[in-house]
Amino acid sequence: MDPEISLIFQCTSPSGISECQVRAELSPLYDRHQLPGDRVQIETAWAARRQQEPWLFDGAKFRLHSIKQEGGRLVFRLGLTCYKDFVGTNLASRVEQLRQQGHEDFGNSQAYLADPLGVGAMLHTADDKFVFLRRSLCVGEAPGKVDIPGGHPEPQVVTGDTASEGPIRHQDLPGELVVKELFSSVLREIQDEVNLPPPTLSCPVLLGIARNETTGGRASAEFYVRCSLTSEEVQHNYAIGGPEAQESTSTIFVTRENVLMMEQSGDLWKELCPSAKGAIKLYVGVMGQCR
């Protein structure tokens, strides 16, 4: 296994996991634990990061605590966190100290980390190619690296109050709507980053969950999405530009055959973000034998 990634969960069905097979539990018990003096260190790290990258902004995120399988469903145990806490824990220079402290105090290296849950898509075109994006230099993580379309599910979307800056409460987030946001957010990211019309995209299926070990083990749910457009048509739409066009500079199309062999045989693997590596590993493990 590539040391930049680890797998939390891999689907055992070659068709992936659909939205109706997933459930979400929201609880303050699933938030991160805090240490004395935590807030000061987080605020200091955030201020320093914002000085270097003023385009960054804070916002509420879901925090993956754990998963379980229950009654034929995959259950996401989710708390709440924010991007500022992510910068001040997962991306901080003290991250390994926090992981060690979490292991000692709770038997859980992630206990003190923000761990906002990400999403990513293995986007498969009609002419049997996968879509990758070259990230711009004006992004908070992995500038210039190659990634898949992705981002975060947003608690504000679930509450329906995207303009409010007030605190979000766990009880305001019904589990069924959180699951809907988990699956729909990956489509929204594809639409915003690649500029593809919703009717051209299939319903996402979950491949599994991977950790990015370069950002303190932050987790990302990785999906498979089929697109009815060819790579040439995808490139045409991308060139027009979507709402988040500034996050990337170009597309890279890779044949399915080469995706299956990418870790063993390609220089492109070295250029990939860990999240993209995790998604490829999960795709190969779940759907690699399917046509």
State yes or no: pLDDT of 165 exceeds 70: no
State yes or no: pLDDT of 142 exceeds 90: no
- Of all residues in the chain, the percent with pLDDT exceeding 90 is 86
Domain boundaries, the chain: 5-287
| pLDDT at res. 128 | 98
Contact present, 239 and 196 (Cβ < 8 Å): no
Q: What phi-psi label fits residue 39: left (phi over 0), alpha (psi between -120 and 50 degrees) or beta?
A: alpha
Average pLDDT across the chain, whole number? 94
| pLDDT at res. 138 | 79
Q: What is the pLDDT of residues 36-53, one digit of tens each?
A: 999 999 999 999 999 998
State yes or no: pLDDT of 140 exceeds 80: no
Using pLDDT thresholds of 50, 70 and 90, give the confidence band for residue 195: very high
Mean pLDDT, residues 64-78 taken together: 96
> Over the range 26-62, which residues count as b (16 or more CB within 10 Å of their CB) and which as e?
beeebbbeebeebeeebeebbeebeeeeeeeeeebbb
| pLDDT at res. 88 | 97
| pLDDT at res. 143 | 84
Tell me the pTM.
Answer: 0.95
Mean pLDDT, residues 212-218 taken together: 97
Mean pLDDT, residues 11-26 taken together: 97
State yes or no: pLDDT of 265 exceeds 90: no
State yes or no: pLDDT of 15 exceeds 70: yes
| pLDDT at res. 164 | 62
**Cα(284)–Cα(158) distance, integer angstroms:** 32
CATH, domain range 5-287: 3.90.79.10
